[in-house]
């Protein structure tokens, strides 16, 4: 079973840069696109990155995504942190059977 | 603008069947390339994919739920549906419908509580 592993939580100060990792359990994470979702309490998840590194319109360029094949991981980087970025972040991809796979989620605290 | 809306009972009794429908507006469910899926999120926990269906009826299920899940599609109504059998308290969650790939385009979600 293909799984995605994220850190449970990360914290950083306003104005700083934070990176959230998403590591694939097997195969190549580069085989299928990775998406990142932001979920604030009580809200529906929204896409901040799709197709590894693409930003939907309306998402600030402080958000960026990347793939590192050497570590079989994807990363979401948020620069110039704002208190409004405090949320849960989920990575998502697909396995070889077209099944949707989610990471366990990372709680970002901006303090 | 594509919109998805979940509907169905918010309360289901233990051991009974949870049934939800997702109505798609602003676009056809019969468009090739896209899949239509169900995802759930128990209170305070992460996202779990339940399964997805193509307009032709081809389905993909999470192996951990496959024995209890049926997803169907009604192209004439632009809807797809979820049935989850033999529910327990562990099935209490917000249930979302969504379109994919690559990213998920989400409905607003509906809370389903399993009562004992």
Closest chain A residue by Cα to residue B64:
A1
Task: Please report the pLDDT score of residue A1 as a whole number.
Answer: 84
A1 touches chain B (CB under 8 A): yes
Assigned token pair, B112: 């389903």
Q: Which of residues 33-52 of A touch B (CB under 8 A)?
A: 33, 35, 37, 44-47, 50-51
Task: Please report the pLDDT score of residue A13 as a whole number.
Answer: 97
* Distance, CA of A96 to CA of B67 (rounded, Å): 21
Q: How confident is the model at residue A27 (pLDDT cuts 50, 70, 90)?
A: confident
Determine contact, residues B53/B62, Cβ cutoff 8 Å. Answer: no
Residue A62, CB-side half-sphere exposure with 13 Å CA sphere:
14
* Distance, CA of B60 to CA of B31 (rounded, Å): 18
Q: What is the pLDDT of residues A54-83, one digit of tens each?
A: 999 999 999 999 999 999 999 999 999 999
Closest chain B residue by Cα to residue A88:
B46
Which residues of chain A have a CB within 8 Å of the CB of B107?
44
Q: Which of A28, A27, A11, A30 is nearest to A19 (CA)?
A: A11
B47 touches chain A (CB under 8 A): yes
Average pLDDT, chain B: 97
Which CB contacts under 8 angstroms, 24+ apart, belong to B69-72?
B71/B37, B71/B38
Q: What is the pLDDT of residues B84-98, one digit of tens each?
A: 999 999 999 999 999
Q: How confident is the model at residue A26 (pLDDT cuts 50, 70, 90)?
A: confident
Paired residues of A10 in beta bridges: A108
Determine contact, residues A25/A78, Cβ cutoff 8 Å. Answer: no
Name the DSSP letter for residue A31.
Answer: G
Q: Considering chain B, what percentage of its residues have pLDDT values greater than 70? A: 100
∠ at Cα B104 (B69, A77), nearest 5°? 130
The residue among A50, A100, A105, A106 with the most chain B CBs within 10 A of its CB, best to mutate, is: A100
A2 touches chain B (CB under 8 A): no
């Amino acid at each position: 079973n293909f799984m995605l592993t994220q850190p449970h939580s990360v914290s950083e100060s306003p104005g700083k840069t934070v990176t959230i990792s998403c590591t694939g359990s097997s195969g190549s994470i580069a085989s299928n696109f990775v998406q990142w979702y932001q979920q604030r309490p009580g809200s529906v998840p929204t896409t901040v990155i799709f197709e590894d590194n693409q930003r939907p319109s309306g998402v600030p360029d402080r958000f960026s995504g990347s793939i590192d094949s050497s570590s079989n991981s994807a990363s979401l980087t948020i620069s110039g942190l704002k208190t409004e970025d405090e949320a849960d972040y989920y990575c998502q991809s697909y396995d070889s059977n077209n099944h949707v796979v989610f990471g366990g989620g990372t709680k970002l605290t901006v303090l | 603008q594509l919109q998805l809306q979940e509907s169905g009972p918010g309360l289901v009794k233990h051991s009974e069947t949870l049934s939800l429908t997702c109505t798609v507006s602003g676009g056809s469910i019969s468009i090739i390339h896209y899949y239509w899926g169900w995802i759930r999120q128990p209170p305070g926990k992460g996202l779990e994919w339940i399964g997805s269906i193509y307009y032709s009826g081809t389905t993909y299920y999470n192996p951990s739920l496959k024995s209890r899940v049926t997803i169907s599609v009604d192209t004439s109504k632009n809807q797809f549906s979820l049935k989850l059998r033999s529910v327990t308290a562990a099935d209490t969650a917000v249930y979302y419908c969504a379109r994919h790939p690559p990213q998920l385009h989400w409905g607003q979600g509906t809370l389903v509580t399993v009562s004992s």
